[in-house]
A and B are shown apart, each in its own frame.
Chain A
Amino acid sequence: SYVLTQSPSVSVAPGKTARITCGGHIIGSKSVHWYQQKAGQAPVLVIHYDTDRPSGIPERFSGSNSGNMATLTIDRVEAGDEADYYCQVWDSSSDVVFGGGTKLTVL
């Protein structure tokens, strides 16, 4: 089965840049999607197809995907960005796959 690996936590000061990674075997050949989930709320799609932002998502959110790593980058981090972030792909052998999630803490 296909596995996506995320670091459990990332901490960043307000105004700085947060980078959240998602590792997977040749993940660069797949389309990666990212979700933000705040405590007690449903997830929200923040990036789809590696780099595309849905309507309403700030330009501070961007994505990249190459080789064995995909990255969600959040520029000029704000307190309101504190949340859990999940990557997701579709794999022919595993169907829908989520990463384990990364907790972003804004210091």
Chain B
Amino acid sequence: EVQLVESGGGLIQPGGSLRLSCAASGLTVSTNQMIWVRHAPGKGLEWVSLISIPGTTYYADSVKGRFTISRDNSKNTVFLQMSALRAEDTAVYYCARAFGGSYYIDYWGQGNMVTVSP
């Protein structure tokens, strides 16, 4: 059974930094496309970042230059380093597996809340 367990969220002041972790079991992060998706209160789903199997990284324009996705193969864990946080980054952040060339998302974590507020 695949499980993705996020951690590291919480309340952070604007301009601050936070690192989300996603510990995987039942799949190997180094041989899968891993993705972060967020859901802001009252809004729709928004793709944030993706790391491909070779390790190439991709970012939504809204987070480019501020967020960094990475993985630790030895820990089978994916990370999202978030810096220069803004109020509009407030959301539930989901770690997930994106499959295939069109990146459908078949396994999702439970979500982790990040609140950016003074």
Q: Closest approach, in angstroms, between the C-beta of B114 and any C-beta of chain A? A: 15
A42 touches B94 (CB 8 A): yes
B106 touches A86 (CB 8 A): no
Cα of A49 to Cα of B46 in the assembled complex, Å: 20
Cα of A1 to Cα of B94 in the assembled complex, Å: 23
B105 touches A45 (CB 8 A): yes
| Interface residues of A, count at CB 8 A | 25
Given A42-B109, A95-B60, verify A30-B47 contact (CB < 8 Å). Answer: no
Of the listed residues B39, B45, B46, B108, the one surrounded by the most CB atoms of chain A closer than 10 A to its CB is B45
B104 touches A88 (CB 8 A): yes
A30 touches B102 (CB 8 A): yes
Cβ proximity bits A78-94 to B, threshold 8 Å, 1 near / 0 not: 00000010101110000
Stretch of A11-19, A20-28, A97-105 contacting B (4+ beta carbons < 8 Å): A97-105
B45 touches A42 (CB 8 A): no
Contacts of A73 in B (CB 8 A): none
Q: Which residue of B61, B105, B109 contacts A35 across the interface (Cβ within 8 Å)?
A: B105
Contacts of A33 in B (CB 8 A): 102, 104-105
Given A42-B94, A86-B44, A86-B45, verify A96-B103 contact (CB < 8 Å). Answer: yes
Given A31-B102, A48-B104, A96-B50, verify A37-B60 contact (CB < 8 Å). Answer: no
Cα of A48 to Cα of B97 in the assembled complex, Å: 14
Q: Which residue of A43, A84, A88, A90 contacts B101 across the interface (Cβ within 8 Å)?
A: A90
Contacts of B46 in A (CB 8 A): 98
Contacts of B58 in A (CB 8 A): 95
Known A84-B44, A96-B47; further 4 A-B contacts with Cβ < 8 A: A42-B108, A45-B106, A49-B102, A98-B44
* Chain B residues near A (Cβ < 8 Å): 35, 37, 39, 44-47, 50, 58, 60-61, 94, 98, 101-106, 108-111
A-B contact pairs, 9 of them (CB 8 A): A30-B102, A33-B104, A42-B94, A43-B37, A84-B44, A86-B44, A95-B50, A95-B58, A97-B47
